[in-house]
C-alpha cells in the first residue's frame, strides 16, 4: 500500500514539480450534494462542498472540508496515516476517502492523470438500511434522506 502511495506521489511530483519542493501535494474537489428529506419530502440541494486532501511524504494525509447551503455552512477536517480507516490507496493512481455515517458511507475516489485529476463521489447504504442519515447543516442534528446523489464540479492539483 505504501508502494502505491509513493508511486502516486511520484507521478504527481513529476507532473507538477513545483508542488513537491515542500514534500506535500494537495488535491481539491468541489461537488454538489442533492437529496430528499424523508420527514418533509422536500428536495434539497445543491449543498456546495469543497474538499481538500494534502498528501505528505511518509504517508500522512490531512483533509479539510466546507459545505454551504445558502447562508449556512459547516467545516471540519481530519488527519491520519494513509491506510487508516478514512484514507486508502485504491490503485497506482487512485486514493479513496471514506466517510462513515450511521446508515451509509460516502466515498470520494480521486484518480490522478498527469497534471490533472478526476473525482467521483458516491453514497452507499449499509446492508439492511433503506435511507441515508446525515448531519443537517441547518440544525446540526441527524436527518434522514433518500434519493441522495452527488455531482462533481471540478478536481485540481495545487
The pLDDT of residue 23: 67
Q: Which residues pair with residue 121 across a beta bridge?
A: 108
* Strand residue runs (E) in the chain: 24-37, 43-56, 60-69, 72-81, 87-91, 94-100, 104-113, 116-125, 132-135, 142-157
Cβ–Cβ < 8 Å for 5, 82: yes
Summarize the confidence of residues 99-112 as an average pLDDT: 95
Q: What is the reported pLDDT for 12?
A: 45
User: Can you tell me which residue has the cell 502511495?
Assistant: 5
CA dihedral 3, 6, 8, 12 (to 10 degrees): -160
Full residue range of the structural domain in which residue 86 is found: 2-157
User: What pLDDT sits at residue 13?
Assistant: 44
Mean pLDDT of all residues belonging to the chain: 87
pLDDT at 4 (0 to 100): 42
Which residues in 88-122 are b (16+ Cβ under 10 Å) and which e?
bbeeebbbebebebebbebbbbbbbeeeebebbbe
pLDDT at residue 62, as a whole number: 95
Per the structure, the count of domains in the chain is 1
The confidence score (pLDDT) of residue 39 equals: 96
| Torsion sign across C-alpha atoms 9, 10, 12, 18 | positive
pLDDT exceeds 60 at position 1: no
Q: What is the mean pLDDT of residues 61-83?
A: 94
Give tens-digit pLDDT for 5-25.
444 444 444 344 444 444 688
Question: How sure is the predictor about 2, in pLDDT bands with cuts at 50, 70 and 90?
Answer: very low
Amino acid at each position: 500500500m505504501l508502494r502505491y502511495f509513493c508511486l502516486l506521489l511520484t507521478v504527481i511530483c513529476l507532473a507538477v514539480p513545483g508542488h513537491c519542493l515542500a514534500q506535500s501535494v494537495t488535491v481539491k474537489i468541489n461537488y454538489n450534494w442533492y437529496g430528499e428529506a424523508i420527514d418533509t419530502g422536500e428536495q434539497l440541494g445543491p449543498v456546495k462542498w469543497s474538499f481538500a486532501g494534502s498528501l505528505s511524504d511518509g504517508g500522512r494525509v490531512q483533509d479539510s472540508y466546507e459545505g454551504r447551503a445558502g447562508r449556512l455552512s459547516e467545516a471540519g477536517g481530519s488527519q491520519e496515516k494513509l491506510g487508516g480507516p478514512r484514507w486508502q490507496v485504491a490503485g497506482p493512481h487512485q486514493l479513496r476517502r471514506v466517510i462513515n455515517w450511521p446508515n451509509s458511507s460516502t466515498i470520494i475516489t480521486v484518480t490522478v492523470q498527469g497534471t490533472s485529476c478526476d473525482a467521483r463521489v458516491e453514497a452507499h447504504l449499509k446492508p439492511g438500511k433503506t435511507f441515508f442519515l446525515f448531519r443537517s447543516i441547518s440544525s446540526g442534528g441527524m436527518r434522514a434522506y433518500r434519493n441522495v446523489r452527488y455531482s462533481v464540479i471540478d478536481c485540481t492539483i495545487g
